[in-house]
Homo-oligomer: A and B are copies of this chain.
Amino acid sequence: MSVGEPSYQGDEALAGLLKKSGAAADLRQIRGLLAGVIAAPEGERPDDWIGLVAPTADEATRAQLRALKRQLANTRKPASLAPGAPRLAALRKEMEKGGVAGFLVPRSDEHQGEYVPPRAERLAWLTGFTGSAGMAIVLADKAAVFVDGRYTLQVRAQTDTSLFEPQHSTEQPPENWIIANLPKGGKLGYDPWLHTTTQLKHLRKAVMQAGGELLALPDNPLDAAWPDQPPAPIAPAIALDIRFAGRNSQDKRESLGKSLATDGIAAAVLASPDSIAWLLNIRGADVPRTPFALGFAVLHQDAAVELFMDRRKFTPGLETHLGNQVAVNPPERFAAALDRLGHAKARVLIDPQTAPSWAFDRLKAAGAELVERDDPCLLPKARKNDVELAGTRAAHRRDGLAVTRFLNWISHEAPQGKVDELTAVRRLAEFRRSGEFFRDFSFDTISGAGSNGAIVHYRSSDATNRPLTEGELYLVDSGAQYFDGTTDITRTVAIGKPTAETKDRFTRVLKGHIALGMARFPRGTTGSALDALARYALWQTGLDYDHGTGHGVGSFLSVHEGPHRISKAPNRVALEPGMIVSNEPGYYKTGAYGIRIENLVTVIEDPRPGDERPMLAFETLTLAPIDRNLIDKKLLTADEIAWLDTYHARVRAALLPKADTETAAFLEEATKPI
């Protein structure tokens, strides 16, 4: 949207242009589509939607389509209800109409995603709180909002606490509040699309203990109270080329279908958009930073799929890509499909961790036999195939070069006081955008200078922006979505000369990173079993960090992907060859600095002479220098030094051929043996 763009010339003019371009010129349809487009993130490719209405349009037509979108976006009416009390009152009115004493407002959509579309930002609309997790409970005369430890300050800053009691969700869980506050005999309503059965289990217990009733509502009273709630998002859904996916959809569907048949299961309900994206080799842009299209699907044991998705998202050719074993239906037909399964008394697999409880209830009511099991796509999606692995290696070379160029830039500019957190974010984005296959960032960059680095989920803003300052640390956690892979990397660098304390802490974090990075472990080992390796050096001196050590990562999909992870929390999923996981120990000193060293790694088979067990190990994917200025070499063992020097030699060898002269000089220096 540059300043020089023409303004909108009117429907008639646009209709004419469209016709000339050979496109359908139904302006009503286009306006409908644009409502959805505006409700989807703009992302890095704000004009891709034009391909949905006029793929062959010339530049003049495209300019008018962009102008129409601008006009519609700008003329959206201001919120018809002021935030705070009026919205709460409107909700309570709808609750009263519905005959419920209370209502649950979680921060989640129908797919339990980490990112949700604007339409699902109900919690933010109601309370003002914009964190990525939380829930409000609204009763007739009081209300509370529950957030975890990350958000206790933010919720107080964003929410009118005279309307919503802020609560720490682990110290004072919703269950306790319900027991204390729900009136006896009171019905606590919920929207069954927005909760899993697993989530409801504990709530139901509490409601029963309060002598009340937990009640699924067919219509969400908050949606009724929200007159200008955005529609569902519409962003282009595309086919993912086999040169990136590595395995065609038919093959995936047949293999899973066979497994279902072996277990006597007729069909599986797929509620996770990333499972559907993986299974059908499609990608989308309905939510920020995660390239999938929202929808539901049913996979049958004969490998056929019923996909429930707004067809207006489909880019030309997608239908052909899906083939005739994939039936595309509008989302509202999902209910009827579940009913058919029920009427056939079919055994249906459904994942209680991800499927909306609505789907459970519907299937049960219709007579299906439910088999509660993990989403069958989870494991095969996590075990990347050779093409995906080759892709992620290539993506990491490009991403590593971008990060290295950025680190070089920082090393020159920051000591002169020319860089702050936000300029750094923009510069890093520029370096990444120039890479082949770049599509988007994989999450909003965490760019923390000095004390801001100690805030684990920090997002810089004008209000919090700090300059990168001599004598301080700078932490940058960022990643990108490329067609051939998803990246996620954290580097911490010293601006100027670091202190003995920060070197000690950085070196201990590095020791943990290396201990995990060079671990060999027998098949069957879980991430939970390995977590302590990354903490041991910190523990020995009484320190720790309050986040997991590693999360799974998708292949041009979610940057947080299960089912495996490396963390203190017990997890029964063994690490398997091809799984990608982050290795990111850290240390945070509140008010002073934050340290995190994050590489992505993939699990590999690692047979060596003399082994008595089938051993696995990690291959490091991420390629960028680790700040040598922050290392206290005395704290490292010979094995650790060898690991670091070998890693840096790999980084150098991989990046040098593509590096410009200035970056090459930096790289040579930054990857020297310590």
Contact = CB atoms under 8 A, between A and B. Distances in A.
A611 interface: yes
Interface of A: 515, 518-522, 524-526, 528-533, 536, 539-544, 568, 570-572, 608, 610-613, 615, 637
A613 B521 contact: no
Contact of A528 (B536, B543, B570, B612): B570
Given A570-B570, A572-B570, A532 B543 contact: no
**Main SS class of interface, A:** loop
Contact of A615 (B530, B533, B539, B572): B539
A571 to B, nearest CB: 8
Given A544-B522, A612-B542, A615-B542, A533 B531 contact: no
A544 B615 CA distance: 10
Nearest to A610: B542
A543 B609 CA distance: 11
Number of copies of chain A assembled together:
2
Contacts of A612: 542-544
Contacts of A530: 532
Contacts of A521: 532, 539
Given A522-B539, A541-B610, 16 more contacts: A515-B536, A518-B540, A519-B532, A521-B532, A526-B568, A526-B570, A529-B529, A529-B568, A532-B533, A541-B611, A542-B611, A542-B613, A542-B615, A543-B612, A543-B613, A570-B572
Contacts of A525: 532, 568
Nearest to A543: B612
A354 to B, nearest CB: 22
Given A568-B525, A570-B570, A572-B570, A520 B542 contact: yes
Contact of A519 (B531, B539, B610): B539
A604 to B, nearest CB: 14
Nearest to A530: B532
A520 B533 contact: no
A549 to B, nearest CB: 11
7 nearest A-B pairs in the assembled complex, by CB-CB distance: A542-B611, A570-B570, A529-B532, A520-B539, A542-B615, A522-B544, A521-B539
Contact of A531 (B529, B543, B608): B529
A615 B541 CA distance: 9
Nearest to A570: B570
Nearest to A614: B542
A371 to B, nearest CB: 13
A515 B541 CA distance: 14
A570 B567 CA distance: 12
Scoring A518, A519, A529, A530 by chain B CB atoms within 10 A of each residue's CB, the highest score goes to A529
A608 B540 CA distance: 10
Given A542-B611, A610-B541, A610-B542, A536 B519 contact: yes
Contacts of A529: 528-529, 531-532, 568
Contacts of A637: 637
Interface centre among A542, A543, A615 (most CB of B within 10 A): A542
A589 B597 CA distance: 39
Contacts of A568: 524-526, 529
A538 to B, nearest CB: 9
A521 B540 CA distance: 7
8 contacts: A515-B536, A521-B532, A522-B539, A528-B570, A529-B568, A542-B610, A570-B570, A637-B637
Contacts of A615: 539, 542
Contact of A536 (B524, B526, B533, B571): B533
A530 B568 CA distance: 10
Contacts of A515: 536
A527 to B, nearest CB: 11
A587 to B, nearest CB: 9
A633 B611 CA distance: 22
A540 B520 contact: yes
A104 B522 CA distance: 36
Nearest to A541: B610
Nearest to A589: B612
A530 to B, nearest CB: 6
A282 to B, nearest CB: 36
**Residue among A520, A532, A568, A571 with the most chain B CB within 10 A?**
A532
A611 B544 CA distance: 10
Nearest to A613: B544
A541 B608 CA distance: 8
Contacts of A519: 532, 536, 539-540
A216 B543 CA distance: 54
Contacts of A572: 570
A536 B537 CA distance: 14
